[in-house]
Amino acid sequence: MAPLRIYKRKGAIMRLTDFSAEAIATLLRKQKIARMPKLMGAMGTNARRTVFRKLKELAYRTSYSHCGRYYTLDEVAEFDEQGLWSYREVWFSVYGTLLSTAAAMVEAAAVGYFVEELDNRLHVGTKDALRKLVGDARLTREKVAGQFLYCAADSRRRRQQLLARRSLLAEPGVVGAIPEAAILPDELRAAIVLFFSLLDEKQRRLYAGLEALKSGRGGDARLAKFLGLDAGTVARGG
């Protein structure tokens, strides 16, 4: 049998069962978000442990911004289609912490994320979080256009993201079977990238070499940039 925990409040002896999670719920329904001191005040306790024990009885979340210092209830938060919600510039996510949110966002992104892009999307600095995720092998990164592009750890997903990103950054002028990158319809660009990602290494090189021949002078360099390959590899076709 677990020992009965006893607390003191204003000279009186209080059992843990004397505290109610409803006091926290009432506060958060009214104010939407609150920090720990407010929650402690609502419960009439100076013990953080007591508040944490009662929070476990509720469907609650901590903010991924402001170092996780704010709390809200699932029933209060109005998450958007990407699982984000903010109130008074405090940000929450269905994924929980900043690390988990950044990982989920990068994995779901068709073209991966540069740091600045994810900063803008999440409204917080993400550089340190992304570095940790890479260090923990939850994400990967690769230099693209002079900066690190963060991608999924899964090799196939990462390859698709890199190809899609490079197609967005490619020079106009790829002709033949692959039209100019600047005027490719989104659906066609996506189809080309997906098709190329499904080929094995030898097939990708042969395909790229054949398409470069169709493109004429300079086609190998343009196609290499479009597909994220070495121009010499494209020129050799393998």
- Kindly indicate the confidence band of residue 8, based on its pLDDT and cuts at 50, 70 and 90: low
Q: Rounded CA gap, 124 and 130, in Å?
A: 12
Q: Is residue 28 a contact partner of residue 62, using CB atoms and an 8 Å limit? A: no
HSE-CB of 147 using CA atoms within 13 angstroms: 11
For residue range 19-39, list pLDDT tens digits in order.
Answer: 788 999 999 999 999 999 999
Residue limits of CATH 1.10.10.10 in the chain: 97-166
- Tell me the per-residue pLDDT of 133-171, one tens digit each, with 9 for 90 and over: 999 999 999 999 889 999 999 999 999 999 888 887 774
Tell me how long the chain is: 238
DSSP state at residue 14:
E
66 DSSP β-pair partners: none
Q: Is the per-residue pLDDT at 224 higher than 50?
A: yes
Mean pLDDT over all residues of the chain?
A: 78
| pLDDT tens by residue, 100-137 | 999 999 999 988 999 999 999 999 999 999 999 999 99
Average pLDDT over every residue of 192-205:
63
Topology adopted by domain 6-73: Arc Repressor Mutant, subunit A (1.10.10)
User: CB–CB of 175/226 below 8 Å?
Assistant: no
pLDDT of 173 over the 60 cut: no
Report helix, strand and coil shares of the chain as percent, to nearest 5: 50, 15, 30
- For domain 97-166, the CATH architecture is Orthogonal Bundle (1.10)
